[in-house]
Amino acid sequence: MAYEGILLGMGNPLLDISAVVDEDFLKKYGIKLNDAILAEDKHLPMYEEMTKKYEVEYIAGGATQNSIRVAQWMLQIPGATSYMGCIGKDKFGEEMKKNSKLAGVNVHYYEDGTAPTGTCAVCVVGGERSLVANLSAANCYKSEHLNKPENWALVEKAKYFYVAGFFLTVSPESIQLVAEHAAAKNNVFMMNLSAPFICEFFRDVQEKALPYMDYVFGNETEARTFSKVHGWETDNVEEIALKISQWPKASGTHKRITVITQGADPVVVAEDGKVKKFPVILLPKEKLVDTNGAGDAFVGGFLSQLVQEKPIEECVRAGCYAANVIIQRSGCTYPEKPGFN
């Protein structure tokens, strides 16, 4: 099977500014532990304050980009993955390009001259992460870039597409173009619920893309928010996963599969009207560095087996392996070679 360009991701490339902070810092900026939000004006001074007050690390991030990089790492096949998103013409943008090349991902960035490369404050308290994203250039992605022949060629080549829900706030028309292409070609189109605020405030664009989703990923908090928004009156993650999998589909080629992670609790997989649960690899608390990128890494590991047409059990096992590696390191980073067999 030819793996070149088999998996394509689209999303918001962000440079993570990661630091271990304290509860007072979270309180000062009104940040909830384990949340993921978009920066408002009140948050803008925090980036500067973090670099002055704490020891920060700069790590190439952005949810989709993390998942694609992890899938690439797990596959160990050069150029198996591609990625598109928007960066600025600046130092951080150059850093991002260098980082992606090293990771072996074929990136086609749209470079915007008016806005700086997007950043994401990763505030770590007790190993748990809170994310505040200042999209900047990432917010400038346009479907015109996607439609350029050299970029659309990546779409034509791919058989699997993954887009984090965060991209719904930036370019729903790009998502729609790729989703419709995937349905027409019987390819596999996948998205992530990504954050409670996406389910709450971007419900319309999320619902428009949902019929095209062959796989829906998310965590328990996002699943419960999705349920609440749709008036399902259930907090039961298994029920919610089933209901999402049964949402009407645009194409009948693939049945929708819902995959919900629950931290240290089992992964819930709903397909064909049935639910299966898979235990995760438990990690002693003292080995946990931070949970930043854990969900992204799970998806990356999962996708690395899916594109090889492995059974769902193997996809979940690879996802759990990748997440376990990432939470023992700072940010979404990994050793040179995976130890997954």
Supply the residues annotated as catalytic. 296
Neighbours of 30 (CB within 10 A): 10
Q: How far apart are CA 164 and CA 313, in angstroms?
A: 22
Contact criterion met (CB below 8 Å) for 158 and 55 = no
Tell me the sheet residues that pair with 85.
109
Q: How far apart are CA 265 and CA 280, in angstroms?
A: 7
Q: How far apart are CA 167 and CA 187, in angstroms?
A: 20
Q: Enter the tokens of residue 271.
A: 């397909």
Q: Identify the helix (H) or strand (E) that includes residue 219.
A: strand 215-219
State the alpha helices, DSSP H only, in 166-287. 172-184, 196-201, 203-209, 220-229, 237-245
DSSP sequence for 279-298: PPPP--GGG----TTHHHHH
Q: What does residue 86 show for φ and ψ, rounded to 5 degrees?
A: -115, 130
Contact criterion met (CB below 8 Å) for 271 and 257 = yes
Q: How far apart are the first and last CA of the chain?
A: 19
Tell me the sheet residues that pair with 82.
8, 106
